[in-house]
Structure 1
Amino acid sequence: MYNILRPILDVVVLTFLLYKSYAIVVKTNGIQIIKAAVIVAISYAVAVLLKLQTVIWIFNALAPVLLIAFAIVFQPELRKMFLKLGQSQWFAFGSRSKHTYVDSVLIAAEMLSKQKRGMLAVFMRHTKMDDIIQSGTKLNADLSSSLLVTIFGMDTPLHDGACFIQGGKLIAAGCFLPLSEQYDIKKTFGTRHRAALGLSEISDAVVLVVSEETGAMSLAYDSKLHYDLSATEITKILENLLEITPESYNMEDTIDEHKKAD
């Protein structure tokens, strides 16, 4: 039985090592090492094929020197490769999350919540909202929690409006959203919550709101406002909704009834 499984195990282990090695190399400049090694190998193969004795002798004589030269010339790339090798999670195939930028937004939201600073962040999905984005300032910047805290944590010209997020990019900030036309909104909700709800009524966007009065974090989507959610609840809902699957539009079961505000 072992003799039958041995060739299969051999192939599986070799495939696994090649896959992980490739995943590490493509993230560094180590690909240059491979190109150089391939050129040398092809040159040696040609010399052997054509029986170029002088060239073969030179290659054999210089082999130890070439190895040392490779190590010296490509030392930075080799170092990066081994660092990546030590940091890599060997049994983690693929990306852990398609929406890691959600964490950056949540970190900023929690910081602003503690400071009782308001925040309005729009996660774009399918609906085009160019006219609303035009009302603010286009940034097209890499998304980070420090950038969001700078925008909303200080009295900057952009802190009163909403920021638009798509993927890992902060598309624009200081944008003005349409207010909700629902007549039965709670009187305690301020302009930010009404604006978040208003945008959710005319688009498929998901809007994160941090209350300036209470510090409560809420989400508005599908014409409903889900008030005072925990960071864990928000992360779960956002990662689900941003997958753009039909079932991800129905998330009411994940939220306690007393936290809903229709």
Structure 2
Amino acid sequence: MPFADFNFFDYISNIIDILLVWYVIYKILMIIRGTKAVQVLKGIIVILIVRNLSIFLGLGTLNWIMEQAIDWGFLALIIIFQPEIRRALEQLGRGKLFSRGTMHEEEEQSRIIDAIVKATSYMAKRRIGALISIERETGLSDYIETGIALNSKISSELLINIFIPNTPLHDGAVILQKDQVAAAACYLPLSESPFISKELGTRHRAALGISEVTDSLTIIVSEETGAISLTKNSELHRDLKIDQFKEMLEKEFMISMNKQASSSIWNWRVKKRG
């Protein structure tokens, strides 16, 4: 390109255009992260790979099938994800689609911790047995599928109501995913460790079992004694006072938040250098 034809403003405009597109795509990926849309996205990628392979290998029939799937797939996605699309448009109209700041995350985490502590304290005083597992970096989708889906906002009232004896959902574990009660009456793997005290029941074994295969935090309220316990990384912390319990939750939530922030910064630096 001749130097005379070089337009500095066009160059800046192209850079801004690329950065804005990158930012929008990044935010969309962050929004759908951890949802069923991720699995659909993986399926689309598989279809595109198979289509390209069919073209390269000259597989006409398979190529035609993949083209039909692509042509009609977008219409199917609109129908399947109609609620999510509507919610995203509503958030865009309120200006909240991309406003996920650190302050908002801290306030939400504080609300969740207070709800968990309030519910746990209530159940411990009344000796209502409870088992609550909190998802962290390792997904708990396999265990969520064993229970009854709720997908409800976390609140102390909801958690208490689930574990009231003789109700349909009280038996099993509740799994918390982000800011939602994902499911109740879930089955967790029992620990087979020979070092577990025989005085511990099924709830404690299940809490230790899930902590051995994931990085989740799991809360146990004993039905016999009302004692509060917590498991993490194959460790059982027993007979916690409510202040100790809240302090441990706040510490673990803060660690998770710092990890997410560090991961985001690292990914941004890698992309910038790459």
Q: Same fold (TM over 0.5)?
A: yes
Residue 229 of structure 1 corresponds to: 240
Residue 155 of structure 1 corresponds to: 166
- 1:143 to 2:154 alignment: yes
Aligned equivalent of 1:188, options 188, 199, 204: 199
Aligned equivalent of 1:176, options 180, 184, 187: 187
2-side partners of 1:143 and 1:245: how far apart? 18
TM-score by length of 2: 0.54
Task: Report matched runs for 1:76-115 at 5 Å.
Answer: 95=106, 98-115=109-126
2-side partners of 1:247 and 1:169: how far apart? 20
Q: Which runs of 5+ in 1 are unaligned?
A: 1-91, 249-262
Alignment root-mean-square deviation, CA: 2.3
- 4+ runs deviating over 6 angstroms: none
1-side partners of 2:204 and 2:152: how far apart? 25
Q: Against the structure 1 CA distance between its residues 93 and 108, is the aligned structure 2 distance closer, same or farther, given a 3 Å change threshold? A: closer
SS in structure 1 at match of 2:218: strand
Aligned equivalent of 2:210, options 192, 199, 203: 199
Task: Report matched runs for 1:1-262 at 5 Å.
Answer: 95=106, 98-245=109-256
Q: Against the structure 1 CA distance between its residues 185 and 95, is the aligned structure 2 distance closer, same or farther, given a 3 Å change threshold? A: closer
Shift of 1:99: 3.4
Matched length? 157
SS in structure 2 at match of 1:228: strand
CA offsets 1:60-109 (integer angstroms, 9 cap, x no match) = xxxxxxxxxxxxxxxxxxxxxxxxxxxxxxxx999567332111111111
SS in structure 2 at match of 1:197: helix
The AA in structure 2 aligned to 1:156 is T
Shift of 1:154: 3.2
SS in structure 1 at match of 2:231: strand
Q: Against the structure 1 CA distance between its residues 222 and 246, is the aligned structure 2 distance closer, same or farther, given a 3 Å change threshold? A: farther
SS in structure 2 at match of 1:106: helix
SS in structure 2 at match of 1:100: helix
Q: Is the 8 A contact 1:127 1:204 kept in 2?
A: yes
Shift of 1:247: 9.5
Shift of 1:246: 10
Q: Which runs of 5+ in 2 are unaligned?
A: 1-102, 260-274
Q: Which has the higher helix share?
A: 2
2-side partners of 1:191 and 1:219: how far apart? 14
Shift of 1:211: 0.3
Q: Is the 8 A contact 1:99 1:167 kept in 2?
A: no
2-side partners of 1:95 and 1:221: how far apart? 22
1-side partners of 2:173 and 2:114: how far apart? 18
1-side partners of 2:116 and 2:104: how far apart? 26
Q: Is the 8 A contact 2:173 2:186 kept in 1?
A: yes
2-side partners of 1:240 and 1:171: how far apart? 23
Sequence identity, in percent? 41
CA offsets 1:163-218 (integer angstroms, 9 cap, x no match) = 01123211111001000111011111000000000000000000000000100000
Q: Against the structure 1 CA distance between its residues 105 and 162, is the aligned structure 2 distance closer, same or farther, given a 3 Å change threshold? A: same
TM-score by length of 1: 0.56
Shift of 1:230: 1.1
Q: Against the structure 1 CA distance between its residues 207 and 93, is the aligned structure 2 distance closer, same or farther, given a 3 Å change threshold? A: closer
The AA in structure 2 aligned to 1:179 is L
Tell which deviates more after alignment, 145-154 or 185-194: 145-154
